């Protein structure tokens, strides 16, 4: 199968798979990650086919959606089989996907290939900025999490298990993950894109806390 046709089919299968998601891990998240990954890959010299396939399939076995362990990746594997991808490429794609997810503030998640670095960066860029803010609260709402609880402090998780089991408020998630991502990016291309998105989140959190504590009415 020619690369263009392969990617076209993969994107169609990914769109079908994520069509009913409302947690912020929908098709449009995948679409943005895919396009960010292509942009970064072209500038960093990564293998475009590997990057595109991994980006398109990266959330099919996400622990936040189906509670998987992030190791076996049955949905991504099954999709690659449907696409008749050869065994060597399947293992490369699975290896990249395994290195995408954030696993805790104190958990080392340094990718072992340029392609994994690119897809990880693309996924993290979509977790920050204005869209990242919207996705965080969409996901928090889907899990019945509070917007914010000043009596519950952020936790810097030391293990993936701690991170997975966390039930903290959505605002805590900014301190536990989102505001950390800018400094955990791998490529210069992604770091440049992240600058404004990170600033957007800082401004949002500052405004949120001003309103929560009624500081914004002091000069009203």
List the chain pLDDT tens, one digit each, 220 residues.
588 799 999 999 999 999 999 999 999 999 999 999 999 999 999 999 999 999 999 999 988 776 565 578 999 999 999 999 999 999 999 999 999 999 988 898 899 999 999 999 999 999 999 999 999 999 999 999 999 999 999 999 999 898 988 889 999 999 999 999 999 999 999 999 999 999 999 999 999 999 999 998 876 5
Specify the DSSP class assigned to residue 112: S
* Residues 143 and 180: beta-carbon distance below 8 Å: no
Q: Which residue, among 116, 59, 63, 60, has the nearest Cα to 91 in the 3D structure?
A: 116
Both structure tokens of 215: 């500081």
Report the percent of the chain where pLDDT is more than 70.
96
Cα–Cα separations (whole angstroms), residue 130 to 20, 84, 189, 190, 208: 22, 38, 19, 16, 14
Full domain range(s) for residue 50: 3-217
CATH number of the domain where residue 151 is located = 1.10.3210.50
Cα–Cα separations (whole angstroms), residue 164 to 69, 114, 161: 10, 26, 5
CB atoms within 10 A of CB 197: 21
Distant-in-sequence, close-in-space partners of 83: CB < 8 Å, separation ≥ 6: 1, 6, 9, 10, 13
Both structure tokens of 108: 């080392």
Overall number of domains in the chain: 1
Q: Write down the pTM of the prediction.
A: 0.94
Q: Which residues of 83-117 are buried (b: 16+ CB within 10 A; e: fewer)?
A: bebeeeebebbbbbbbbbbbbbbebeeebeebbbb
């Amino acid at each position: 199968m020619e690369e263009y046709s392969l990617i076209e089919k993969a994107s169609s299968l990914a769109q079908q798979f994520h069509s009913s998601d409302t947690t912020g891990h929908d098709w449009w998240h995948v679409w943005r990650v895919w396009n960010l990954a292509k942009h970064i890959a072209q500038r960093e010299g990564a293998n475009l086919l590997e990057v595109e396939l991994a980006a398109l399939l990266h959330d099919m076995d996400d622990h936040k959606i189906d509670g998987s362990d992030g190791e076996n990746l049955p949905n991504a594997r099954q999709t690659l089989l449907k696409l008749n991808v050869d065994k060597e490429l399947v293992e490369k794609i699975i290896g990249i996907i395994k290195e995408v997810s954030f696993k805790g503030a104190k958990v080392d998640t340094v990718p072992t290939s340029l392609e994994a670095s690119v897809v990880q960066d693309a996924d993290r860029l979509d977790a920050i900025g204005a869209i990242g803010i919207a996705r965080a609260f969409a996901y928090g709402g889907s899990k019945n999490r509070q917007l914010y609880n000043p009596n519950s402090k952020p936790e810097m998780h030391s293990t993936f298990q701690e991170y997975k089991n966390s039930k903290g408020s959505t605002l805590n998630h900014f301190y536990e993950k989102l505001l950390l991502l800018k400094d955990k990016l791998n490529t210069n291309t992604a770091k440049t894109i992240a600058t404004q998105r990170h600033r957007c989140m800082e401004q949002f959190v500052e405004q949120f806390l001003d309103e929560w504590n009624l500081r914004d009415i002091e000069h009203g």
